[in-house]
C-alpha cells in the first residue's frame, strides 16, 4: 500500500511539473507575442518614415531629371543608342523598332505618390509614320501579396505598320527575350484578361537599370560618337530612382 501511495505521489508530482512547464511555456509565448507586436509597430513607423524620406527626395530629383532630359534631347538618337547597348533590352528591338525609336523624343519614369504601390514608364514620341499616339505608357501596380498588374497604352497603329509576327524575326531563341515579336508588343503584355503577374522583366530593367544612369549604356568600346566630356555633364546627376508626379494610384496621363 505504501508503495502504491508513493507511486501515485510521484505521478502527481510529475504531472504538476508538466503543468508548470506548460504554464511557463504559454506565458513565454504570450510575452513573445507582445514583443513581436511591439516590433511590428516600430517597423510600421519606420516604413512610414522611410516613405516620407523617399517622397522628399523624389521631389528633389524632379528638377534634376528635367534638366537631364533637356540635355538628352540635344543628343541625336540618345535613347535608341542606350537601348541598343543594353545587354537585354537591345535584343528586344527589331530593325523596324529601331526605326520607330528614332522618333522617341523623351523617356520618363515616375513613381506613384506612394512608391510602394507602383510606377509608370512613359515614352514620348514625335509625330511619326507608324502610330497615332504621341505618348505610350506602361503602368505597374503592386499588390500586397507580392504580385503586380502591368497595363499599357493601346497603340493606334497606322495601316500596315503594326509589329510583324515573331516567327518572321531573324533573331530567335535567346536573342528574343520574353517571346515578344517587337518591343512594342510589350505594351500589350501580359495578354488581355490576365489580372496579376509576378513580374514585368522589361519594366524592371528600364526602371532599375536603364533609367537611373543611361550613360552607362550609351558608351561602349565600339561607340566613339559619345565619348567626349559630355559624360561628366549634369545629365547624369539623376543617379537613383524616379520622379514623382503621379498620384497614389497612378502617374500622369497613361491612357492616350
Residue 160: give the domain boundaries. Answer: 46-236
Residue 249 is assigned to a structural domain of this protein: no
Residue 25 is assigned to a structural domain of this protein: no
Q: DSSP letter for 226, please.
A: T
Alpha carbon distances (Å) from 48 to 35, 43, 115, 245, 250: 20, 9, 12, 19, 20
- Tell me how far apart the alpha carbons of residues 3 and 6 are, in angstroms, rounded to a whole number: 5
Q: Can you list the alpha helix ranges (DSSP code H) found in the chain?
A: 2-72, 78-85, 95-101, 201-205, 215-218
Residue 29 is assigned to a structural domain of this protein: no
Residue 77 is assigned to a structural domain of this protein: yes
- Number of domains composing the chain: 1
The pTM for the full model equals: 0.69
Cβ contact 192:106 at 8 Å: no
CA 3 to chain centre: 75
Q: Counting Cβ atoms within 10 Å, is residue 58 exposed (0-12), middle (13-18) or buried (19+)?
A: buried
Nearest CA to 247 out of 170, 141, 155 is that of 141
Nearest CA to 58 out of 112, 12, 104, 9 is that of 112
Cβ contact 79:100 at 8 Å: no
Residue 36 is assigned to a structural domain of this protein: no
The CATH number of residue 61's host domain is 3.30.1120.90
Q: For each of the chain's 256 residues, which pLDDT tens digit applies?
A: 556 655 556 566 666 667 777 888 898 999 999 999 999 999 999 989 998 998 899 899 999 999 999 999 999 999 999 999 999 999 999 999 999 999 999 999 999 999 999 999 999 999 999 999 999 999 999 998 889 999 999 999 999 888 764 334 444 433 444 557 899 999 988 766 566 778 899 999 999 999 999 999 887 644 444 444 444 444 444 444 444 444 456 776 444 4
Residue 231 is assigned to a structural domain of this protein: yes
Residue with cell 524592371: 204
Residue 80 is assigned to a structural domain of this protein: yes
Residue 187 is assigned to a structural domain of this protein: yes
Amino acid at each position: 500500500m505504501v508503495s502504491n501511495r508513493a507511486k501515485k505521489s510521484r505521478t502527481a508530482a510529475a504531472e504538476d511539473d508538466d503543468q508548470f512547464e506548460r504554464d511557463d511555456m504559454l506565458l513565454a509565448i504570450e510575452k513573445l507575442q507582445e514583443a513581436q507586436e511591439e516590433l511590428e509597430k516600430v517597423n510600421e513607423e519606420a516604413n512610414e518614415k522611410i516613405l516620407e524620406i523617399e517622397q522628399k527626395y523624389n521631389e528633389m530629383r524632379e528638377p534634376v531629371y528635367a534638366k537631364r532630359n533637356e540635355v538628352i534631347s540635344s543628343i541625336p538618337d540618345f535613347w535608341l543608342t542606350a537601348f541598343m547597348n543594353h545587354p537585354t533590352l537591345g535584343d528586344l528591338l527589331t530593325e523596324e523598332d529601331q526605326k520607330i525609336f528614332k522618333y522617341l523624343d523623351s523617356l520618363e519614369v515616375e513613381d506613384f505618390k506612394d512608391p510602394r504601390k507602383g510606377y509608370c514608364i512613359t515614352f514620348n514620341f514625335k509625330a511619326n509614320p507608324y502610330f497615332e499616339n504621341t505618348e505610350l505608357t506602361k503602368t505597374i501596380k503592386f499588390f500586397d501579396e507580392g504580385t503586380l498588374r502591368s497595363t499599357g497604352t493601346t497603340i493606334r497603329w497606322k495601316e500596315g505598320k503594326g509589329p510583324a509576327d515573331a516567327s518572321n524575326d531573324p533573331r530567335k531563341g535567346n536573342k528574343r527575350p520574353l517571346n515578344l515579336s517587337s518591343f512594342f508588343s510589350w505594351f500589350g503584355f501580359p495578354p488581355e484578361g490576365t489580372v496579376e503577374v509576378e513580374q514585368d522583366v522589361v519594366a524592371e530593367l528600364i526602371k532599375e537599370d536603364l533609367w537611373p544612369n543611361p550613360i552607362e549604356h550609351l558608351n561602349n568600346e565600339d561607340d566613339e560618337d559619345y565619348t567626349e566630356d559630355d559624360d561628366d555633364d549634369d545629365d547624369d546627376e539623376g543617379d537613383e530612382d524616379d520622379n514623382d508626379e503621379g498620384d497614389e494610384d497612378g502617374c500622369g496621363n497613361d491612357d492616350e
